[in-house]
Amino acid sequence: MTVVTNKGVILKAIPEEIPNVDEHFELTHRTIDIKNLNLGENEIFLRNLYLSLDPYIRFTLKKPDLDHIKVDTPIANKVPVGQVISGLGVSEVVKTNNPNYKIGDLVYGPIGWEEYSHIKSDVAPTFSPVNKELLNDIPLNYHASFLRMGGLTSYASLMAIGKPKEGETIYISAAAGSTGQLVGQIAKIKGLKVIGSTGSDEKVDFLLNELKFDAAFNYKKVDLDKTLSEYCPNGIDIYYENVGGETLEIVLNHCNQFARIVVCGMISQYNITNPKKKYGVKTLENIFLKSISMQGFLVMEYLGTDIQKEFEKDIVEWIKSDKIFYKENMIDGIENTAKGFVDIFNGKNNGKTIVKLADY
């Protein structure tokens, strides 16, 4: 296997609203002669195994529109039309000119939506090894998100911004999604009352019966204001925000004094590119009236901190002791990657979307 076909997904056109598989993405085939491939100093060549599909990627598909602002975040790195889209994933090193990696190593880092990735010397330092010893207890696919950025996102933001206290009430929107499901389980472990909403009855069952949430409901079928009054009679202490818009507007009215709003995402607004058509939230006065804090974050902020160390210790222990699990929506193959991504915005995913690119 020295000459391979590397299938990948490129950005065909910039989506104005919800991306469409045929219109905005294109599958490409490139032939690579691995044996004769020249690697520059510190470069590595990877066979990609599992790719994590995350909502933030939507922001890398837009035109830069924040030119007058200092923004130093990965979501500001736009993918040019015609180039392979990026994501985080787990790969096997198949060729290396980097002293930190040998052939056969498993690594985690920013790869392309493609079967093989040639990692340049400036990006190579952002990769880190996968601890193979953990594979006895924890499957490799969990290393693409659950044990890494995905899990850390939920854990660190809940702990650092949400500051959960036993007996408090947390409400989680998009609770069956990649961050929501973990946040809910961690909050249960910490002794909170956990309420979640999601977009299908099947997912409500999942939250109630598999994740053991205290209450869950299908937001499409209820009056949110009344439902929150019913399920959160003592008000909301933490709102884990994934959706934005009208949901946020209603939740603010149910927040308690000193409530914390962890802004992980506002998925209802991402695909509205006309700023005038975004939802206008009318209840922000609550922030003043009830001394609420509302905070966005970058998971990168927590890398190298005590919170990351606590996360790594807790998460492995919780998985081994069956206290926590991670529902994955496993997509098969690069050919289905674009569809898997688009489905996130249509609410068709159930759990964290991961693409299996190759057997290991």
Q: Which positions lie near a second copy, rule CB under 8 A? A: 59, 66, 68-73, 75, 229, 233-235, 244, 248-249, 253-257, 263-266, 269-270, 275-276, 278-285, 287-298, 301
Nearer to a second copy, 84 or 259 (CB): 259
Nearer to a second copy, 107 or 243 (CB): 243
Nearer to a second copy, 73 or 128 (CB): 73
Q: How far is the CB of 325 from a second copy (least distance, A)?
A: 27
Nearer to a second copy, 37 or 284 (CB): 284
Q: How far is the CB of 256 from a second copy (least distance, A)?
A: 5
Nearer to a second copy, 27 or 222 (CB): 222
Nearer to a second copy, 290 or 327 (CB): 290
Q: How far is the CB of 190 from a second copy (least distance, A)?
A: 20
Looking at residue 343, its amino acid is D
Q: How far is the CB of 236 from a second copy (least distance, A)?
A: 9
Contacts (Cβ under 8 Å, ≥6 apart) of 319: 137, 138, 142, 146, 325
Q: Would you tell me how many other CB atoms lie within 10 Å of the CB of residue 355?
A: 27
Q: How far is the CB of 260 from a second copy (least distance, A)?
A: 9
Cβ-in-10-Å burial (0-12, 13-18, 19+) of 92 comes to middle
Q: How far is the CB of 31 from a second copy (least distance, A)?
A: 38
Q: Would you tell me how many other CB atoms lie within 10 Å of the CB of residue 163?
A: 14
CA atoms of 328 and 88, how far apart (whole Å) = 15
Nearer to a second copy, 235 or 347 (CB): 235
Q: Using alpha carbons, list the distances in angstroms from residue 209 to 50, 191, 327, 346.
A: 28, 18, 13, 24
Nearer to a second copy, 61 or 207 (CB): 61
For residue 250, the surrounding DSSP H or E stretch is helix 245-254
β partners of residue 352: 328
With both helix axes pointing from N to C terminus, report the angle between 149-157 and 306-320 in degrees, rounded to the nearest 10.
110
- Residue 131 backbone dihedrals phi, psi, to 5 degrees: -75, 105
Q: How far is the CB of 283 from a second copy (least distance, A)?
A: 7
Looking at residue 332, its amino acid is D
Nearer to a second copy, 264 or 319 (CB): 264
Nearer to a second copy, 135 or 298 (CB): 298
**Are 101 and 107 contacting, i.e. CB atoms less than 8 angstroms apart?**
yes
Of the candidates 148, 138, 145, which has an alpha carbon nearest to the alpha carbon of residue 317?
Answer: 138
Q: How far is the CB of 120 from a second copy (least distance, A)?
A: 25
CA atoms of 235 and 347, how far apart (whole Å) = 27
What token pair was written down for 143? Answer: 């290393």
Q: How far is the CB of 354 from a second copy (least distance, A)?
A: 23
CA atoms of 156 and 216, how far apart (whole Å) = 23
Q: How far is the CB of 72 from a second copy (least distance, A)?
A: 5
Looking at residue 185, its amino acid is Q
**Are 314 and 159 contacting, i.e. CB atoms less than 8 angstroms apart?**
no
